[in-house]
Structures are given as C-alpha cells and as structure tokens.
Chain A
Amino acid sequence: MHALKVAGDMGARYAEARYHRIESWGASSRNGSIISGYSELSEGIAVRVLVDGVLGFASTNNLSREGVVEAVRIAVSRAKAHANIAKQAIEFSDARLGRAKYSVAPLKKFSDVDLGEKLRIHKEFWSSVSKVVQEAKVPVATLSYSEWIENKVVVNSDGAYVESFIPRISIYYNIVVHHPQKGYIQRFESFGASGGLEWLSKWNIVESSAEEAKNLEKVLLTAVEPPKESIPVVVGSEIVALIVHESCGHPSEADRILGREAAQAGKSFIKPNMIGYVIGNKNATVIDDPTIPGSYGFYLYDDEGVAARPRYLYREGVINEFLQNRATAKVFGVESNAAARAMDYASEPIVRMANTYLKPGDHRFEELLEDVKLGVYIKSYMEWNIDDERWSQRYVGLEAYLIENGELTKPVRNPVLELTTKSFYSNIDAVGKELRFYAGTCGKGEPMQGVPVWFGGPDVRLKSIRLGVIA
C-alpha cells in the first residue's frame, strides 16, 4: 500500500503493486535414474504506474521499504521520460475489481507423501515404457516432475485487493523409440493442473505412457502413407485443443489485435471491427474460462484485480468477444474480462488465455468414424506451427490411423494437416461429446512470459481435406 501512496505522490494517475512468490521443487530423470533435483524460489514486488499516458513497470526483489520506493521512483521517472514519444495516452477502463482472498485446496497435499514415494514414478515410468516395446528399443526416456506454489497479493489505486494461493503440479516426458532399419520416433507429452498429488492417480502416467510407447512402436514399424486424395479426417481432441488455443485464443487477444505484440508474436487476422464476422459453422464455439476447478490456468481474479468469468470467443461460428485487460478494454469501449496475467514478479501483466476449449457436441467416437469409408484419425502430434496472424497452421500427426469402412485399421505415418483458421472451423461436420484437457505453457510478451494454461476439446470430424506427408 505504501508503494501506491508513493506513486501517487510522484504524479502517477494509477498505481498497482503485486507481491508475487513462486516456490517450486522437482526432479528429472533419464531411464529411471534421477539426474538432479531442483528447487527454486522467486519472490519480489512488481510496480506498475500510469504517468502522463505512459505505462511504467518496475520490479525488484529488494523487499525493504527503500527497495520498493526505489522501484516506484524508477517506474515513474522513466515513464515520464517517454511522454514525448507516446502518441496515444494509455488509459484503463472501469472494471469489477475484487477485494478478496482465495486459495486452491488440494485433495492430497504435497507434504502428505514422502519423497521416496514421489520419486518412484521415475523408475516405474522407465520400467513400463522400456519393457512394453518388443521389436524396437527405447534408448532414452526422460521424465521431469515439478510441484509449485504461487502466492500473490495484488493491490491498486482503484481499490483492488486480491490475495491468492494456488498449488500446481506438472509432469512432462520424452520417449524415443528406435529400430535399426526403421529409424526413430519420438514423443513429448506434458501434464499439469492446479491442486495436489491427487492428479497423479488421475493421470495414471505409468500405464498411459506404456500404452503410448507400444503404439509408437507400431507406427514406427508398420505405418503407411496417408491417402493422397481429399478425405474425411477425424482430428483427435489433443490436436483440436491445440488448434483452438492457436487459432482462436491467440488471435482473440485484444493487445495483439491492437498491434502491441506486432514485433514479437505478431498481429492477428482479427481486426478491431470484426466482432460478428463469420469464421466457421455452428459447430465452432470456443470458450476461454479461467474459473475451471483444477485447471492449470486457474484463477478467480486476474493480475489487475478484475473478477474472472468464462469468455465466449467464437460462438457458433461467429467472432464474439476478445480477451481484454483494462487498457485494451478502454480502447474497445468495453469492460475488462480479466485476461491480465503475469508470469512472476518480474513480469508485467499482459493479455493471456487461461483454459481454452472447443465446446463438445453429441457424437460418440464410434459415431465420428462410422460413416467414413476411407479417412484418417490423427490422435496425437509433435510438430506444429502457425503464422503470426494466426491464419495458416500446420500440425503433423504422430499416432494416427487409417479409417476404413468405419473402423480404425493400419497406423499412418506423419500425416500433415495444413490449413487456414477459417477452413478448420468451417469444415467441422461432427463434434465428439467427450471433452478432454491438455496442459501447456503458453509463451508471449517481451521478455517472454510462460504461463500455465489448459487447452481442450473433443474429437472432431472434418468433412474433407488432403493430408500431406513427411517422407
């Protein structure tokens, strides 16, 4: 609170201070043996001010009164020094600011389980993936386990006061399968959620990774090229989830639409006047919701102290709403929908997704397949990218299968789905009913900020598309 007062005395029209502490612990292994353990503590204060229409940000891990005052002085004075090149004064919109305290209560606390038991997953993972592969071999499988606790207090001169406590857990692994004649196949997979150790039994990684390794071996040894003609493609929920993150969530970020990220992650195919533009058919409803319990991107108030709610970005094929913070909301003449997030105390809050997903439909998986005479089902991917306006995108399948007369048959090697955003959302002709979420760390900003997100979706069927292939 002292920081806010000092900033006001120095001439700031708006001031915000965030105490932000992240404590993490983890271990990584190779072939079941622990390479190293790690522990990190990031703790400090971020100060943001609006002075003469310029946004100033300063952070410090000197938490003494003098340290914080110095951060405020730097934020204010250097913002003032830029007033002559600020073409447009930055202002903040009104918002539903919180005065609240909330925490995520894990079902099974990190402290409830001893270290030995936590480390056992590394050996069990290696044991299961290395044994299940028969004809080929797993030369390397690595696993990284992390648990972390994020504490924040956000206060600002407009009256917000929000304290939060969120524990999170994450795991990622890498499996390499090799056959002397067939070469290599490789899979990276990640898991993450808010909460505690209860997620380990939900994920059941030891079993699911073994299943995956077995399937990767089949793909490596027996996969065929995808058909060359245009065919129906059932896109697995893992890829649908990534597609909605990349081609709906990112282009809907209002700061990107206004050009604030133009030199980094780029602009957006969505222009400021495109609310109401038809981007797909009735099956295309994409929601971003920070409030999903247990989600990796969970929060109830954003880092500007604004109360969170679900955002309907595309609704039945129509561009419906952008992700806004208070500065972009002012430009668009709307209220902030609480999309401001900062990675840590050394990061400014910027417009981010939380948990983005395609609304599920009513088809069972078998129903998505049953009318397909010849098609491809792509279950997982490795390579992907999208252009900086979020229009032209590419996903390369890893585990994929031919669909013949409504049944999954042979594995398919490296099918390439390369299409535009509008083509994807306009070609969905059936939507599965099972919604699944996947964890990721979304990167954006300068300096780069990685924040935890979920992306989700059901399996969907695309009417017809020609798949490419990597030789």
Chain B
Amino acid sequence: MHRLLITMVLAALVVSMPAQAQRGSFLSMEEMRQNTFGEQAAALEWQTLWVNQEQRDAIEAILGHRFHGLRIRYLGDGQRTLWKFEEIGKEQLITVGVVVDSDRIANIEVMEYRESRGGEVRYPFFTGQFQGLGLLPEQAPALDGHIDGITGATLSVRAMTKIATLALFCHQLTPFTHRESSSQTAAR
C-alpha cells in the first residue's frame, strides 16, 4: 500500500515537473544589456523611437493585432540595438530580448516565460534559427529565412517570429541602422 502511494506521488511529481520547468524568469534586462554591449553598457542611455501612423500600421500588420504604443524604448550603440518586447503566446505574455546588429538578428533570448506549455522556444536549438536573419527587401516586413516550428509550441513560435520581425523593422527606423550608416558613409 505504502509503495503504491509513493509511486503515485512520484508519478504526479514527474507529470507536473515539465509544466513547472517551462515557466520562469531566465534573463534580466541588466544581464541582456551587459551581454550585448559589454563595457559600454553602463554608459548607454535609453533611446526613443516615436511611432507615426504609417509605422503603426506596419507594426500592427507584423503583430496581427492593434498596437497602441506611442513610442518604443531601446538601447543602441554603433550598428547594434537591443529591444525588449512582450507578446502573448497562448494566454500569457512572453518577454523577449532581441539584439539586432547591422540589420540582422545577432541574438534573441526569452527573458521571461509565463505559459505552462511551449517553453522550448527559449532553448538555443530554436533561438539559433533566428541568428543572421534580416527582413525581406521591398515587401511587407517578413523574415528572410524559415523558422522550423515546435510541436506543442505553435503559438509561442509564432509570437517569437513576430517579435523578431518587429525588432528588425524597428531597428531600420533608428539611426543605428546599417542602411543609414552606409548611406552616411557614402555621402561622406
């Protein structure tokens, strides 16, 4: 009888462990900032990207829902920018940090995951797919590479893809964009 009880308790623990392991806060903004900009991190100030109506329309097309933000805060240095976005996976917000360097994704990290399922999107086997991706030229904002989905995490994968696209779109509106730097260099 005791053995049966212990087995049942252990089985319940094993079943509940994956759900517990999915949720969590994995990376703070301070760590993300330090990892992205190294020694200059402390000296950097928040930049503001003001959103006009045309940009708002594009952002809403990327996200697939209304966007009410007046402005988006980010950090930038050289041709590199760091963005923190939140998007709903299934029911809860996923907080994601995205580093864009020379108009391509240099890093994407799940900073906080609140859903009970789909947390696999934070592992490098998935996030690594975004590295080096940019936006397709002269089209509605979309990634120029394919992202393989994860069974059981479809909505979280979709949210991550939206955030990556949004970060790339926003980056090209900043003075830190490669295009602007290139045109400035050409002008000189």
| A and B part of one assembly | no
- Chain B positions within 8 Å of A, measured between CB atoms, are none
